[in-house]
């Protein structure tokens, strides 16, 4: 006689629907998991009354570390294994520009860490603000490198270096110094560091990994983020040169990011679950109307898949306000959101 132990109910992976998660303000806040997040991930992995497991990917605007390192952090926080094959961060799509630009300025993140991330993407000559300050410390009148930054920075040839593009990979740790250096480069002739333009429209392009003006941390009120730096930089550039500065942002709500996510989800479903058809619905759970909800709703208008936006209240949510981009559903937290979606599919 064959018996199936009751303690391990069999689970079935659904091929009909999938989830995409924002991270900050949905699963994590200030480096700690949101209380309902661990339970929510168990629910999605089969610990639910329907015995259903649902495939999912993560889509964060955050960054500053390699995808592998970020997944290791998230696996620890959520007590489950998360693979780079199901993860996109703000700077992931910048990988595709490594062929186009050789010498680049990479800004943001802890210490000199983003240099390694950019080199991992294949950028050949990565220069950081630390390199420029180490070479000429009066570049930033008030900023001095820490011993660690100094050790990890390299002196460069300021007269003969041409920066082909500027990439802001992660939040700047020093707005004044980083803005000074970005502005100096934007005001050159084609990124040649020894030059200064007379017309201020011949600098290299400047890319940001996302445009979130605010984001959710351990503080009870939202904190300003990379989108605020972008706005500030554009305003200062205009104040100095009288010209408008055109910068570019990746991340949510850009449609290209959602197209990238669709492909990632398709590959992940195929490779790890053996599903070879697209899902009918993707539930996107986010906390920021301007990036998560706006992007999901706009992408839904173009996509054959139903991208269903769910806003949770654990991030930048403010009581008694109406989200600028209305979601199709509002839930208290990620656990309620997953429960709602799985029940809706039954
Ligand atoms: O800096 C990261 C932040 O702006 C948003 O991250 O996970 O909410 O997209 P996330
Ligand atoms: Mg968020």
131-178 residue pLDDT tens: 999 999 999 999 999 999 999 999 999 999 999 999 999 999 999 999
- The secondary element (H helix, E strand) that includes residue 17 is strand 17-21
Are residues 165 and 240 located together in one domain of the fold?
yes
Which pLDDT score is estimated for 1? Answer: 37
Asked whether residue 266 is domain-assigned, the answer is yes
Residue 290 Cβ inside 6 Å of ligand 1? The answer reads: no
Asked whether residue 313 is domain-assigned, the answer is no
Chosen domain end from 216, 249, 282: 249
Residues 212-264 pLDDT 10s: 999 999 999 999 999 999 999 999 999 999 999 999 999 999 999 999 999 99
Mutating to test ligand 1, I would choose from 67, 218, 225, 289 the residue with most ligand atoms within 8 A of its C-beta, which is 225
Q: What share of the chain is helix, strand, coil (3-state, %, to 5)?
A: 35, 15, 45
Mean pLDDT of the chain: 95
Asked whether residue 49 is domain-assigned, the answer is yes
Residues ≥6 apart with Cβ < 8 Å to 141: none
Which pLDDT score is estimated for 261? Answer: 96
How far is 331 from 134, CA to CA, in rounded Å?
49
Domain limits for position 245: 92-249
Percent of the chain with pLDDT over 70: 97
Residue 212 Cβ inside 6 Å of ligand 1? The answer reads: yes
Asked whether residue 200 is domain-assigned, the answer is yes
Give me 3's structure tokens. 């018996």
What ipTM was assigned to the predicted interfaces of this complex? 0.98
For residue 218, the domain's CATH number is: 3.40.50.1000
Are residues 104 and 239 located together in one domain of the fold?
yes
Query: Sorting pLDDT into bands at 50, 70 and 90, what band is 111?
Result: confident
Look at the chain and report how many structural domains it folds into.
Answer: 2
Residues 44-81 pLDDT 10s: 999 999 999 999 999 999 999 999 999 999 999 999 99
Is the CB of residue 163 less than 8 Å from the CB of residue 105?
A: yes
Ligand 1 nearest atom to the CA of residue 288, by list position: 8
pTM of the model: 0.93
């Amino acid at each position: 006689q064959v018996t199936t132990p009751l303690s391990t109910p069999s689970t079935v992976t659904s091929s009909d629907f999938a989830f995409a998660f924002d991270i900050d303000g949905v699963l994590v806040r200030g480096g700690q998991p949101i209380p309902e997040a661990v339970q929510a991930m168990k629910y999605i992995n089969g610990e639910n009354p329907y015995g259903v497991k649902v495939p999912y990917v993560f889509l964060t605007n955050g960054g500053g570390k390699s995808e592998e390192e970020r997944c290791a952090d998230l696996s620890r926080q959520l007590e489950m294994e998360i693979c780079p094959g199901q993860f996109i961060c703000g700077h992931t799509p910048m990988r595709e520009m490594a062929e186009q630009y050789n010498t680049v300025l990479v800004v943001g993140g802890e210490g000199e860490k983003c240099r390694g991330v950019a080199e991992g993407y294949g950028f050949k000559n990565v220069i950081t603000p630390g390199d420029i300050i180490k070479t000429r410390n009066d570049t930033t009148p008030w900023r001095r490198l820490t011993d660690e930054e100094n050790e990890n920075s390299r002196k460069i040839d300021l007269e003969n270096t041409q920066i082909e593009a500027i990439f802001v990979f992660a939040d700047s740790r020093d707005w004044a110094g980083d803005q000074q250096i970005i502005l100096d480069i934007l005001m050159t002739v084609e990124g040649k560091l020894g030059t200064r333009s007379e017309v201020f429209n011949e600098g290299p392009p400047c890319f940001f990994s996302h445009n979130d003006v605010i984001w959710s941390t351990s503080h009870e009120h939202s904190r300003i983020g990379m989108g605020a730096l972008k706005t500030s930089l554009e305003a200062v550039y205009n104040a100095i040169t009288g010209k408008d500065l055109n910068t570019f942002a990746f991340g949510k709500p850009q449609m290209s990011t959602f197209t990238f996510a669709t492909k990632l989800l398709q590959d992940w479903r195929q490779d790890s679950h053996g599903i070879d058809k697209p899902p009918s619905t993707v539930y996107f759970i986010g906390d920021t109307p301007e990036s998560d909800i706006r992007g999901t709703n706009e992408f839904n208008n173009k996509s054959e898949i139903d991208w269903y936006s769910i806003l949770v209240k654990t991030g930048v949510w403010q009581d008694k306000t109406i989200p600028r981009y209305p979601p199709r559903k509002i839930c208290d937290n990620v656990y309620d959101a997953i429960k709602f979606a799985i029940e809706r599919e039954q």
